[in-house]
Chain A
Amino acid sequence: MKNHDDEIIISYFLKAGVMISVSFIIVGVILLFAKNGGDGYTLAQMSDYHYALAHGIDSRSVSLNKILSGLSEIDGLYFITVGLWVLIFTPITVVFIGWLSFLEDKNYLYVGMASIVLFNLFFAMLVIPRFIV
Chain B
Amino acid sequence: MTLILIALKFLLIVFGSIIAGFIGSLTGLGGGTVLVPVLTLFYGIPFIFAAGASLISTIATSAGSASAYTKKKIANIKIGIGLEIATTTGAIVGSLTLIFIDKHSLIWSVYVIFGLVLLFSLIPTIKKIGKEIPPETKPDWSTKLFQLTGSYYDERLRKTIKYHGIRWWLGEIVMFFAGFVSGLLGIGSGALKVLGMDWAMNLPMKVTTTSSNFMIGITAATGSSIYWYEGYINLFIAAATAIGVLIGAFFGAKVLVKISNENIRWIFFAILSFLGFDMVFKGLHLINFIITFSLMIQFFISIIISIVLISLLYYNSKRKEWRDNNEKSR
Q: Are A1 and B77 in contact (CB under 8 A)?
A: yes
A99–chain B nearest beta-carbon distance, Å: 8
User: How extensive is the interface on chain B, given as a class?
Assistant: 35 or more
Given A11-B70, A120-B85, A124-B92, decide whether A25 and B236 contact each other with a Cβ distance below 8 A.
no
Q: Are A90 and B6 in contact (CB under 8 A)?
A: no
A46-91 with Cβ < 8 A to chain B: 46-47, 49-50, 52-53, 56-62, 77, 80-81, 83-84, 87-91
- Tell me, in angstroms, the Cα distance from A17 to B67 when the chains sit together: 10
Q: Are A117 and B63 in contact (CB under 8 A)?
A: no
B71 at the interface (CB under 8 A from A): yes
Using CB atoms, name the residue of chain B closest to A125: B225
Q: Are B227 and A132 in contact (CB under 8 A)?
A: no
Q: Are A62 and B235 in contact (CB under 8 A)?
A: yes
B213-231 with Cβ < 8 A to chain A: 214, 217-218, 220-231
A92: chain B residues at CB < 8 Å are 218, 221
Q: Are B235 and A59 in contact (CB under 8 A)?
A: yes
Q: Are B234 and A49 in contact (CB under 8 A)?
A: yes
Contact of B89 among A53, A62, A95, A120 (CB under 8 A): A120
Q: Are A90 and B232 in contact (CB under 8 A)?
A: no
B218: chain A residues at CB < 8 Å are 91-92, 94-95, 117, 121
Q: Are A87 and B59 in contact (CB under 8 A)?
A: yes
A68–chain B nearest beta-carbon distance, Å: 17
A108 at the interface (CB under 8 A from B): no
Q: Are B238 and A84 in contact (CB under 8 A)?
A: yes
A22–chain B nearest beta-carbon distance, Å: 6
Q: Are A14 and B231 in contact (CB under 8 A)?
A: no
A125: chain B residues at CB < 8 Å are 225
- Tell me, in angstroms, the Cα distance from A53 to B73 when the chains sit together: 43
Q: Are A88 and B71 in contact (CB under 8 A)?
A: no
Given A43-B6, A114-B81, A120-B92, decide whether A91 and B235 contact each other with a Cβ distance below 8 A.
no
User: How extensive is the interface on chain A, given as a class?
Assistant: 35 or more
Q: Which of B43-51, B154-162, B282-290, B312-320 contacts A (4 or more CB under 8 A)?
A: B43-51
Contact of A128 among B84, B96, B217, B239 (CB under 8 A): B96
A87: chain B residues at CB < 8 Å are 56, 59-60, 63, 242
A7 at the interface (CB under 8 A from B): yes
B231: chain A residues at CB < 8 Å are 56, 58-61
A37–chain B nearest beta-carbon distance, Å: 10
Please name 9 further chain A to chain B contacts, defined as beta carbons within 8 Å, in addition to the given A33-B6, A117-B84, sorted by A numbering: A11-B66, A11-B67, A11-B68, A12-B67, A14-B63, A53-B46, A59-B227, A59-B233, A62-B235
B contact residues vs A (CB 8 Å cutoff): 2-3, 6-7, 9-10, 44-46, 48-49, 52, 56, 59-60, 62-64, 66-68, 70-71, 73, 77-78, 81-82, 84-85, 88-89, 91-92, 95-96, 99, 145-147, 214, 217-218, 220-240, 242-243, 246
A contact residues vs B (CB 8 Å cutoff): 1, 4, 6-8, 10-12, 14-15, 17-18, 21-22, 25-26, 28-29, 32-33, 36, 43-44, 46-47, 49-50, 52-53, 56-62, 77, 80-81, 83-84, 87-92, 94-95, 98, 102, 107, 109-110, 113-114, 116-117, 120-121, 123-125, 128-129, 132-133
A-B contact pairs, 23 of them (CB 8 A): A10-B77, A15-B63, A21-B242, A25-B243, A47-B236, A49-B44, A49-B234, A52-B236, A53-B46, A84-B228, A84-B242, A88-B224, A90-B59, A94-B214, A95-B81, A98-B78, A98-B81, A116-B85, A117-B84, A121-B218, A124-B222, A128-B229, A132-B230
